[in-house]
Every structure is written in structure tokens, then in C-alpha cells.
Amino acid sequence: MTPQTATSTRVTDVVIRLVGESGEGTVTLGDIAVQMLTMMGLDIYVFQTFPAEIKGGTVMYQIRTRSGTILSHGDACDILVALNDEGFDLFGGGMREDGILLYNSDVFTPTPQPGRTEYALPITTLARAEKDAVRHDVEPEILKRLPAPVNTVGLGALLRLVNAPLEPAEQYLRDTFGRKGEAVVRMNISALHSGAKHVAEQIGNKRTPQVFPREREEKVLIVNGNQMLCMGAIAAGMRFYAGYPITPASEIMEFLAKELPAFGGDVVQAEDEISALGMCLGAGFAGKKALTASSGPGISLMVEQINLAGQAEIPVVIADIQRGGASTGMPTKTSQGDLNLAVYGVHNESPRVVLAASSVEDCFWTTIEAFNLAEAYQCPVILLSDQALATRKSTIPPPDLSKVEVVNRLLPTEEELGDSYMRYRDTETGVSPMSLPGMRGGRYVSTGIEHDETGDPGYTPELAMQMKRKRFRKMETLLRERGDAMVRVWGDPGEVEVGIIAFGSTEGVIREATERARAEGYKVGHLHLRMLSPLPVDPINAFAARCKRILVPELNFTGQLAGWLRVHTDIRFTPFHKDEGIPFIPNEIYQQITHLAGK
Amino acid sequence: MTATSTQYSPRDYKSDLKPIWCAGCGDFGVLNALYKAMSMCGLKPEDTVVVSGIGCSSRLPGFVETYGYHGVHGRTLPAATGIKAARPELNVIAVGGDGDGYSIGAGHLPHCARRNPDITYLIMNNNTYGLTKGQISPTSMVPLASISPKVDPKRWKTTPYGMTEEAINPIAQAIAWDVSFVARGFSYKPNQLADILAAAISHRGFALVDAFSPCPTFNQDQNDDYYKDHTYDVPEDHDPTDRVKAFELALRTDGYPIGIIYRRDNKPSMLEEQAFLRRRFENNPGTMEKLFAKYQG
């Protein structure tokens, strides 16, 4: 049953922001709320931003929910759940003026503001009362470790606030706490109702939004970018992972350590990132599809061997989950600041592919693409993601596995093996059949030293040019064979007032801003780059030709995509870049569009 | 180790590429000992990978008629571990110099010891950097600056007035890390070195063989005569499975014992543990559908 009040307004799109002390359950509350909303048939999109500390500091967990595709975490929040005053001070500014504030009145009382609707919730007091009520019914061993049900009180309050039914939550609590005995279940269900009742008593004539449950026909997954990256890797046939812990990439190693053995694969926690990539290159040389993942500082340590992979032509995938700031910077914040590192991070020159995943679902498909390109062109592939995308939890349809295409490297035929076999044969495409240890007649030395077609060292000027041409020809082949598929085009066809060129995790927010502007009559186009290197220049130029003005938004300080476009194209554009550690919101892109269109 | 009944002579492991080493380089002796050891173990050339980093000695894979991997400086062990982990049936022999293994790549040694993959690591120790032409290495024995003003400034390029740090003792270090097979050889005793290498290759686990391999071009101090005078065979009654005794032997200051100094045959290996993990799921193998189900909303 959905409770109704005279003042509830039906809403189709709600942004709920939870803020609180890190390590105190804010994320848990968010995760449960996400489950409940998903069970109601709604879609969700979560943006999380953390302090770097394990305990302490303020965490922000923003849920946007609606029925249907969600492209970004939204602009201002409709509902702010402030579990402490520090969170309120830090993130309260991102609230709508007519928003709803649910605050922990045990901890602080905010100054009232005209237009804002406020609900006080003495969350700790209510939770303690619930625990006290069952104190004598719980086994002493369990009681010792039983926290007061603070999150459950918060959940009840939040669900009531959006006029959501409590039954699914009751079922969830039964399932979650059943093992701890009937009294603990009773405590939690009572806490749920206590939170709900406390809000209900204050509603009176206050405005509340009402989210509507719906029957969902299709299955959905609740997943984040890191998880989909891992699943994409497994689907692509990756069976060897080596890595070194680093925020925000560690989750990848943790996921794979748990899941990969069941697929017959291995995970090694290496002593450093240099060793991690070294092992992956060894595995890649020996015939396995290998993955390592890190963030900027770790990728920096890998640079020397990325070049070895290019020079020795070893397939490998390196995921860079970008994080904020240089050096230690802001490890728990987001950025697109490693584009230069990905495309330029090399001594001398060697071919490499750089891809960027753009959404949680796309993490799956782009990771598969990364392995396919590494295998097809026998080169390192750097796959860019970032903290916001890695921890972005979304509801997505389960990927259609019948659409998964897996490419494996070109092996020599029986006839090609033997005395005349040449590992680095200079071919029309640049791709040479790659023998694997164990193949008779396929012997060669995989090497970073300049070499002839057999792999033997050689330094003559002619050879140096021939082999460099051969290796870089693979990138020309890639562009010829797949270049057009390496961009996605959104928005108006034909001539547009404003065209946007961007890459990576900003795709959704740009699409949303574009749609908003188009709904108001602006003609707007959007080209999103899936591949940054080699840069698909032809589709970029074709797109640019139909744009009156071009905007290049990105999340870094100096405008790295802007610089990369200037190197490879003659197009003129307006750069828009910032590196605050948080993603764009739709409104700031929208403002840029209307501003440029008005020029 | 994959051995076969087919007999391979040392010559069968020799590639067409001619070694680039200087005349009189100790590495020739080591290479010949390696050919012989591979022959003694009957290694199938196509099932064998010789892995190296950077340095004079790291050019060795090119001279062996097996698969080879000639990577970047110091990263020999990670690559060798990755190859062995990916294809446990392959014979993996890592080779390189003292600079590659004990300086830039030293950080990998204790971890390779922990993982104990079934690979052999042959270090050609010439107590100097040869390829970059005569700088000190972690095993260099140039006198310290404070005690010897008589160092020839022309010979030692980065330490013209003597060294400012002591050499390491790689054998004692390896025993401390519990490398599961630790031995020392000498390139001027190639038959003995071949026996040691064959034992190392046959050892199940990570085997380190440090072979003195003098550099006649950049280090005339630790030349073949020096080592002939300063080495002796490991005493016949030495029990290499006794770690404390092995330490004592490694720490002796009256010369360098040649032979097998330490071995531990029952040390767990990362690869076997991983295989165990994979087997755990054999009756319930992973599928994408099962993975998706774990995250269903």
C-alpha cells in the first residue's frame, strides 16, 4: 500500500542526497535505499564522493531515481538527508531552494530557510529506544555486537518522505536479519516504522514528493563501473590479472580475486605496479589475455613497460581508474586528468590504443573492445575510467551476451611455422601472426630492442624505419577497419548551432544537457569519443563540419582533450575544463550550450 | 619441468645468433654450461622460455634456440612469473646480470621467493655494469673511499675516489628470503656450473643460481684468477636443507663456496595454490549468467 496525503505531489524524477560521517553507515543506508527503490521498479543512478580517510570526514551518497534511463546524478537535490552538521555545511548548498531537508536533530538544528521544508529526526534517540525495547529478548552474545538500528530508522523516514510503501523494506529486513533471531528482526521492523511515523507526524500540510512503484518487466542489475569492467573482462576471455592496491581501482582486484578462479583464471597481488604489468606482459606473451588496473600514480610506474608492450607487440589491457589531483592529489575524487598520460606517456614512440568507458553499461562493452583491440592489433590498450564512473551505481539491463564478440590474436598456420617463420613479419596490415611458446617452429625472442622481422636485434636506419612503420601501420589499419565505430553521435542530425566533443564518463551528463537545450529549441549535436588513440580524425572532422560552434568539456585543469584535438585536427572550438574532483552537473553544460549558441 | 625421452645435445640449444660479448667474457662459459644443463634435463626447446632484462648478460635469450623474452631493465622475474603462471607446463629460465637482479630489480626478489614459482633464475655476476661501461654494481668490491685513496679514477667511473657503500651478499640475502634453492657457480668451472644449473632446473620451486662471470673489459680486479683463488667447493658434508648451516656458509669470509648452499623442497608455491583454488570451482564453474545473478536488483 502506498500511503497518500493530500499534499503529496507525484514526481517522476527525484534526487536524494545523503550526507554523513564516513564509516558511520551513510553508504549502507544509501545502498539499502537503492535496493528498495529498485524493488519498487524504479531505476537509480548513484554518485558517491568520499573523504580519503577510512573513518571520519564526510561522505556524500546521491541517489537519483525515476522510471526509465537516468543519464546523470542530476543538478540540485530535492531531498537532503543530513546525518551530521558537517555534511550539511559541506553539501547543503547543492539543494534546491524549495527542497526538503531531513536532518539528524540529535546532532544539530539548522537555521530555517524560507521555501525549504524541514523534518527533524532524532535518529540516534529513536534507534536506541528500539534497541532498549528488545534488550532482554536478544541473546547476550548477539546483543554485545548489535548496533542500534540507526540506518533502519533513517530508511523508514526516507521511504515515508517519498511516500513509498514499507512492505518491501520489511521483507528486506527479515531476509537480512533473520539469522540473528526473531527479536533482531522485530527491532528493525519496529525501527523502520518508528522512523516513518516520526516523519508522518510532521507532514501535516508539508509538501512531500511521491514516487510511484511500477511493475518491472525486465530484469535489472544494480552495478557500478568497476564491477562492469570486471565482468566485461571475464566475458572477453581475460584469465590473468595482476595488480597492486590503489584507490579507486582496488575494487577491481577484489572482485576478480573472488570471481576469476571459478572461470579458471588467476589473480596475483603484485609487489608494485611495475611487477603487475610485468607479469601481465609475461602472461600475454605466453598466450593469456591479461589485465592490470590502477590509477594515475600506478600507471606512471607502468609507463616503461607499456612501451615494451608496444615495441614487442604483446597484447595487454591496462585500466586506469583516474582520480583527482597530481601526486597523491585527491585519491577519492574524480578526474579526467590522465588523458595526456595515456596518449603521451611513453619514451620515444610506440603504438598503443587508448579507449574511454562512458557509462556503467559501457564499462562492460568497452572492456571487451579493449581486449579485442589488444588481440587484433597485438598492442597495449589503455582503458580509461574514473572514480565517479567506477563507484557510480546504476540499474542497467543485463548485457545481451549474444552480442558479445570475442577476438583472438592471429596465430601462425602450420605452413607458416618452421625455418621461415618470422614473428614480426612486415605485412600489409602491420599485424604479424604471433606464435606461442610450445609451438614447434615458432621460436623467437619477444623483445623491446629494435629488431628485424625475425626478432633478431638490428639497428640499421632502414630497419629502424621499416619496423616502426610496420608497428604504426597497425593503428592505421585499426582506424580503417573500426574508426567509425569509435565515436558515438547524439543530438540533432545535420547542421547544429552547438556541437560538443568529449570523452569518457561525461557522456550521460552531456546527453542530458543536450536534450534539455534541444527541448528548448536549440540545435545541438554531441560526438562522444570511445577511442582517444589513435584518434578517429575522420568522424571528428565530419562532425565538426556541421557544427557552427564546438564545445569541448572535460574534467581536468589544462584541457587535455583540447590539446590532443589541436595536435590532430584543425577544428576550432571553445574549451571548457575544470578539475574540482567532482563530475559535471547537467546545468553547467547546458549553460555552456546556451551561452555558445547565443554568441 | 617438462622433460622428454628425446635426447637433445647441448648443440641443439644453440641459436644462429652470435653472442655480442667481448672476448674472454665469463658469460660464454655460463652460456655453454646452460646449454649443457638444458641438455642434461632434456628440455624441449619449444616448451622452454628464456627470460631476461637489460645488460650484457641479458642478451642471452637470443643465443638460445628456445622461445625468449627480452624485456626491460630489472623486470625479469615479474615477466618470468607471468609466463609460468599463464603456462605452468613451460620450462622458464630467467637470466640476467647483478645490476638487473640485485639493483634495479632487487625489489622483486623477496616476492618471487614468497611466490616460489617453479622457475630458475641465473645471475651472471661480474661485479660491475658492463653494458654501460664500468660503473659500480651492488656486488662491486671497489675499496671504500675512506680506506683506500689508491683507487684508479680512470677505471671506476662513478666511484673515482672509491666506493661509498658496501657490496651486498646475494647468497645470504636469498637464504634470508627463503628462496627455495640457492646456489653459486663460476663460469670458469663450466661442468660444475652445468651440474648446479641442472639441479636448479630440476628443483620444484624458485631457484637462484649466482654465477661469477668475470668482465675482462671493465673489471680486471675480480677476474678469473681472483675467483680461482677465492672460491672453494661447498664441503661434501654440507647439508643444504639446514638453513642455519647454509647461512653460516654464506656468511663465511674466507672465500666463496661454490655449489648448492640452500634448498627447501617442500615450500608452497603460488601457482599450486592458485591451481588448488581453480579446482575448488571445477564442479561449479563460473558463467556470466551466474555473475549477473549476483547483482540482480
H or E element in which residue B181 lies? strand B181-186
Report pLDDT for A7.
Answer: 61
pLDDT tens, position by position, A47-61: 998 887 766 788 999
In a domain, B197, yes or no: yes
Report pLDDT for B2.
Answer: 52
pLDDT tens, position by position, A302-327: 999 999 999 999 999 999 999 999 99
**Which neighbouring-strand residues pair with A491?**
A525
- Residue A340 has a CB neighbour count (10 Å cut-off) of 14
Mutate to test the interface with A, among B50, B76, B81 (most CBs of A within 10 A): B81
Contact criterion met (CB below 8 Å) for A444 and A423: yes
Identify the burial level of B282 via C-beta atoms within 10 angstroms of its C-beta, where 0-12 means exposed, 13-18 middle and 19 or more buried: exposed
3-state helix, strand, coil in chain A (%, to 5): 40, 20, 35
* Grid cell locating B274: 592458485
Q: Which residue of A has its CA nearest to B65?
A: A443
Report pLDDT for A2.
Answer: 43
Greater pLDDT, B155 or A280: A280
- What's chain A's average pLDDT? 94
Concatenating the DSSP letter of every residue in A373-435 gives HHHHHTSEEEEEEEHHHHS-EEEEPPP-GGG-----PPPPPTTTSSTT--TT---SSS-----
State yes or no: pLDDT of A4 exceeds 50.
Answer: no
Distance of alpha carbon A34 from alpha carbon A169, whole angstroms: 11
A223, A441, A444: residue with CB nearest B295: A223
**DSSP letter, residue B99:** I
- What are the two backbone dihedrals, phi and then psi, of residue A235, each rounded to the nearest 5 degrees? -65, -30
Least confident of A20-34, B37-51, B145-159: B145-159
Concatenating the DSSP letter of every residue in A25-75 gives THHHHHHHHHHHHHHTT-EEEEEEE--SSSSSSEEEEEEEEESS---SS-S
Residue in the structure block whose three cell numbers are 562492469: A228
In a domain, B242, yes or no: yes
Report pLDDT for A6.
Answer: 46
**Percentage of chain A with pLDDT > 90?**
85
Greater pLDDT, A140 or A478: A478
Distance of alpha carbon B67 from alpha carbon B210, whole angstroms: 23
- Residue A135 has a CB neighbour count (10 Å cut-off) of 11
Report pLDDT for A38.
Answer: 92
> What's the CATH code of the domain at B253?
3.40.50.970
Task: Kindly provide the residue ranges of all beta strands, DSSP E only, lying in B4-149, ordered along the sequence.
Answer: 48-52, 67-70, 91-97, 120-125
State yes or no: pLDDT of A385 exceeds 90.
Answer: yes
Kindly compute the dihedral angle of the four CA atoms of residues A393, A397, A401, A404, in this order, to the nearest 10 degrees: -60
The stretch B68-73 carries a mean pLDDT of: 98
Chain B partners of A395 at a C-beta cutoff of 8 Å? 297
- What's chain B's average pLDDT? 94
In a domain, B24, yes or no: yes
In a domain, B288, yes or no: yes
Chain B partners of A438 at a C-beta cutoff of 8 Å? 46-47, 87, 89-90
Interhelix angle A26-39/A150-161, nearest 10 degrees: 40
pLDDT tens, position by position, A517-556: 999 999 999 999 999 999 999 999 999 999 999 999 999 9
Contact criterion met (CB below 8 Å) for B128 and B142: no
Q: Which of B247, B259, B264 is nearest to B203 (CA)?
A: B264
Residue in the structure block whose three cell numbers are 507525484: A10
H or E element in which residue B207 lies? strand B207-212
Q: How confident is the model at residue B149 (pLDDT cuts 50, 70, 90)?
A: low
* Partner B contacted by A282 (CB < 8 A): yes
Number of structural domains chain B divides into: 1
Residue in the structure block whose three cell numbers are 502506498: A2
Report pLDDT for B3.
Answer: 52
State yes or no: pLDDT of B5 exceeds 70.
Answer: no
Q: Which residue of B has its CA nearest to A443?
A: B67
CA distance B84 to chain A (A): 8
Q: Which residue of B has its CA nearest to A440?
A: B46
State yes or no: pLDDT of A487 exceeds 70.
Answer: yes
Report pLDDT for B154.
Answer: 67
Domains, in order of start, for chain A: 8-210 (3.40.920.10), 222-403 (3.40.50.970), 492-597 (3.40.50.920)
Task: Please give the residue range of the domain that contains residue B228.
Answer: 10-294
Distance of alpha carbon B137 from alpha carbon A34, whole angstroms: 59
